[in-house]
Structure 1
Amino acid sequence: MDDTSIQTRNRAVLSHLGLARHVSRQENKKGPESADDLFQEACLGLIRGMDQYNPHLGYKPSSYLVRRCRGQILHYRRDRARTIRIPWRLRDLAVNGQRLQERDRHDGKQNLQPKDIADALGVSLQRWEQAQLALQANEVSSLEGVQPPFNTQYSDREDPQRDWLRSALHQLDRRQQTLLQRHFIDGITLKELAETMLLPPSTIKRCLFNAIQLLRGMAAQSAEVVIRR
């Protein structure tokens, strides 16, 4: 994007910032995440949505951007679903205690006892122990939540299944490609697709079904793709 396009995009994002705030407030009622974190993710979805929004497809920008904001928050929650949330005061206390211990080790001093650390931080021994336990629990949960990559043999650029899918999609007609993108990736409902494309819902369903069947047929003939039933 050139400077003019970026400035135009930024103005459009600012004019729709209320959508991101509205979505983040709604989603804040459904989980333990902070309102600021959710608003930040919603803004990220708003920016990405504005970059990919195509007014010629007939969708209202507000409908499309709301889905992108909500989708970004859902991705954020999915990636952190196994992480334990700890109060920021306990987290900061644990980090400050670790820095204090590292500084003393760097100076060649003996390891501080828990009581000495608590006194240096101006908190009770029980409070310092709570901070340590909370941080350890969070680290363990984060490690448990790490998932192996989809295909450990290949990088993103070398993944043969990804390359096959790109090639297969190009063999579909334009309408099928558009419907697959809008429905399965952008999250637009069948009803909204039917309204914007001026087609009966049954036609949309049939087109999607035929596209998926074609992909399955091509996958069945490829040795690089495993079909999951």
Structure 2
Amino acid sequence: MATTRQRSKAFLDDSHDLFLAADEEATDETSPGTPVAEAALAPRSPRPATVAAQGHPKNDRSDSDADADAGHSGHDHPGETNDRVRARELFTQLVALPEGDQQRAEIRDQLVRMHLPLVEYLARRFRNRGEPLDDLTQVATIGLIKSVDRFDPERGVEFSTYATPTIVGEIKRHFRDKGWAIRVPRRLQELKLSLTKATSELSQTLGRSPTVSEIAAHLQMSEEEVLEGLESANAYSAVSLDAPDSGDDEAPAVADTLGVQDESLEGVEYRESLKPLLEKLPPREKRILLLRFFGNMTQSQIATELGISQMHVSRLLARTLAQLRRGLLDDT
């Protein structure tokens, strides 16, 4: 059990790999550099634009100069190009200012507002997965803020290129932590995605729902692995205990069909574990335990019964209990 728990924790903590895992719904449109992505990921200056660095000369360069600085060709919209240049200038100022500086906080807030279209664009990619779009947008905004704080403009990459993996990763972390009712190893999460895709493809090809053996042959895995992945899908959603046990509204609630937890159940487990340990005790130690815990006798009464001192009874009792305790711990 410990090995399984450790493996599950290792899989779930390996968030970086999970964030960058293949997303079945992702397309090349989201890759920075394609026309659709460039239009969506371009920063937008807040309107009206009121924040500017003190003493900084007004940017009156031509659009072609701005395009060259931003690393884009002249087909970009002039407003988008100017926003990129403005964002780069703000990032340069942000890095130069110390933590706690009021102007730094204002520039940071402006950069976040400028790149909110990127947040909304990436959040919409996950809108059909059962989570409200507003919640996904808030989660994506956390990723944006982290990216703004960590971005280094001297590296020569566009901010959208740098921020996209972090924002998408934050959204996937949200689904990983909130979407699964039970913690499931990443291997099983990825297996479920593969099974979903294979089932869809085979259903279209065969004109019916595929069997377990057909899915296993398609994915080149054993039927046991397919069944394991199908069972793990049950952890993806939770059922309310107040919900009807069947489709009938008059049916009893799920909670009504559950047994009451017996507080003495744990004691039964301990007693069963103690039996073989008690059998190994010497007769005198075993008798002391019986007289003390089942006969409800004091140590003085036990000493009189056995013809030994009360101090000797105390030492024997302490040693025997310690021996049983070690045996229980070793057994678990």
TM-score, length basis structure 1? 0.37
- Considering only CA atoms, is the larger Rg found in Structure 1 or Structure 2? 2
Structure in which a larger fraction of residues adopt helix: 1
Larger RCO of the pair (alpha carbons < 8 Å, separation 6+): 1
TM-score, length basis structure 2? 0.26
